[in-house]
A and B are shown apart, each in its own frame.
Chain A
Amino acid sequence: MAQELAREIRDENIDVRDVSVDGLNLLELIVGYDRLVVIDAIMTEVGEVGEIYRIKPENVCAPSCSAISPHHFNLATTIEIGKKLFPMEMPEEVTVFAVGTREVARVTEEMTSKVKEAIPKVVNLVLEQVDPTNKYRDAGHALDSNIPSNCHRKPQNNACQR
């Protein structure tokens, strides 16, 4: 997904990063940007595999609710810490696109077909998010969602705009 986005986005003010970090490691990467788009996998109790969600980080989990160590602050906590430490340097707008999966803890080299099918749709949604005037493709749609706090997430890719 990151490779696809990097191909499509030619604006030098936008960085596409493929990372597997969270907590303070993520904070170090997002300080200094105006807008942040996070693309992630998500496992919900009722959702379908391949379903795409558009989420505000504060709706993923309450700050600190899953924090057991400085390595595992959830996204909401990371944003909250960033705003306290670097109030002038944090992205003003944060959006999470999440793709429903059946499994987030087991690492494999292949995606399931339903998750794979979601990739171009998410790419279009991100393109629309970072540049609403873009005429590349039909942007598709995502569910605007509040996700229960016991969800499982695995950070995947980020698009940051300076």
Chain B
Amino acid sequence: MTKKIVIEPVTRIEGHGKVTILLNDAGNVDKARFHVTQVRGFEKFCEGRLFWEMPLITARICGICPVSHHLASAKAGDAILGVKLTPTAENLRRLIHMAQIVQSHALHFFYLASPDLLFGMDADPAKRNIMGLIAEMPEIAKKGVKIRAFGQKIIEMLGDKRVHPNAAIPGGMSKALSPDKRAEILSQVDGVIADCQFAIDLFKDYRAQHVEMVTNFADFDSAYLGLIDDKGNVEYYDGKLRLRGGDHFILEDNVAPENYLSVIEERVEDWTYLKFPYYKKLGYPGGMYRVGPLGRLNVADGCTTPLANKEFQNFKGLGGNGVVQGSLYYHYARLIEMLNCAEEIKSLVEDELICGKDIWVKSSHISDEGIGVIEAPRGTLFHHYWVEQSGKIRKVNLIVATGNNNLAMNRAVYEVAREFIKDGRLTEGILNRVEVAIRCYDPCLSCSSHALGHMPLEITICEPDGNVRQVLRN
């Protein structure tokens, strides 16, 4: 006999989600399920479209990281055309991509996650949000706005719009960067790098005061997936896939992105629309892996830029074997990446090549298949298209970052629930912690789980016959 606890709404993963906790006869947690209850359907309705339309169509999948879908789609188009980009075009794509990671990570840390850390997880939800931060710590909030605005500005420079930009096309880019815009980026980038370092110090101060909690919160063993460059450094735009186990053992290395199906399979469950990717050789669900900032830093051997690499070495030291598994460390990894990308922006823009005019390669060749893989802010993103010779799409497969983390998010909720539900009794604070655990993974729903003045989470405890025994709301 089982009892069911439902936490809902956990809204906006570009739709709606909810959490159900199933108890066993003893009143302890048997299973935790994170449901995504809205189907998006992009894979289906893109069929019949032309592959060169896809960068603009698929960017609409997400309003937070449209650049990632835009670029992964353009990369799939490059593969269909069989072209290699010009150096300027590749650098422009890297620039807009780094800008997106900077703005997305700043949004997440300053607007969504930092109130949990700065006010404490048990602080009044009316205060524990961006408005509370603005009221009580405006200097911190201001840095968040400025870092994010810097990234958004670059996206707009290259893609004309801050959301859903029109920048990349199969074979290159549609627009060059003018020298005055390059100068504008250069004039601001050092300030942004300093603000990224400030954010890292903020997290490290918090960790120093809560070492045990930060280390143990939703801490569990899993594998990790991410792209690496030819030296084993964290790579966001291109590179090869590496899968590392929680024991530091490398399970797969230097896998060409187009061979991703040799490593990953997907499972469908009847209680959620979000699929469950897993590592094939370990099976389902044992092949759970994590992506995103924690995944990328755990698989890599270093960062490409000096300040970020120094922090990376410090990060690696937190895991006994060089693998850091506590979910709250996602925030630290995210901030290191934000610094890494800000430094990368500086490096890209210091090179005059970025203003080159040779940004597009023509091709009349059309392959029947193309795969584009990129590291989106939330993790590895796969776009796989099968096309006809006319360029019409026959079939689409998308594996998005939040999907890659699906098993892990379920596990994180389970870990938190197990700690806070004993013998059928809920300990005070479970709502906040379930929310914080999900937020570590930065799925799109993290925005709305941070309501202002009213937390949209609710736990309903149901008797085995379905009758509601207790309802808890924040």
Contact = CB atoms under 8 A, between A and B. Distances in A.
Interface of A: 19-21, 24-25, 27-28, 31, 64, 67-71, 77, 81, 84-86
Interface in B126-176: 130-131, 134-135, 138, 141-142, 145, 148-149, 152-153, 162-163
A85 B152 contact: no
Given A64-B452, A69-B12, A25 B152 contact: yes
B447 interface: yes
Given A67-B452, A68-B456, A81-B134, 15 more contacts: A20-B163, A21-B163, A24-B145, A24-B148, A25-B152, A68-B448, A68-B451, A68-B452, A69-B12, A69-B451, A70-B130, A77-B131, A81-B131, A84-B135, A85-B138
Contacts of A20: 163
A109 B11 CA distance: 29
Nearest to B129: A70
B112 interface: yes
Contact of A21 (B162, B451, B453): B162
A53 B111 CA distance: 33
A31 B153 CA distance: 13
B450 A84 contact: no
B455 to A, nearest CB: 11
Contacts of A25: 152, 162-163
B448 A84 contact: no
A28 B152 contact: yes
Contacts of B153: 28
B450 A69 contact: yes
B152 A69 contact: no
Given A68-B448, A85-B134, A27 B163 contact: no
A71 B148 CA distance: 13
Interface string B95-133: 000000000000100011000000000000000001100
Contacts of A84: 134-135, 138
A64 B126 CA distance: 12
Contacts of B141: 85
Contacts of A69: 12, 447-448, 450-452
A135 B414 CA distance: 68
Q: Which of A20, A28, A69, A70 has the most CB of B within 10 A?
A: A69
B444 to A, nearest CB: 10
Nearest to A63: B131
A147 B186 CA distance: 44
Given A68-B452, A70-B112, A86-B142, A28 B149 contact: yes
A27 B456 CA distance: 25
B9 to A, nearest CB: 11
Contacts of B107: 70
B145 A27 contact: yes
B191 to A, nearest CB: 15
B366 to A, nearest CB: 31
B342 to A, nearest CB: 17
6 contacts: A25-B152, A25-B163, A28-B148, A67-B452, A70-B111, A84-B135
Contact of B145 (A21, A67, A68, A85): A85
B138 A28 contact: no
A67 B134 CA distance: 14
A20 B131 CA distance: 22
Contacts of A64: 131, 452-453
A123 B205 CA distance: 52
Contacts of B450: 69-70
A103 to B, nearest CB: 21
Contacts of A27: 145
A155 B148 CA distance: 21
Nearest to B456: A68
Contacts of B163: 20-21, 25
Contact of B111 (A24, A28, A86): A24
A85 B447 contact: no
A70 B113 CA distance: 12
A77 B163 CA distance: 21
A3 to B, nearest CB: 14
Contacts of A68: 448, 451-452, 456
A64 B163 CA distance: 24
A150 B450 CA distance: 22
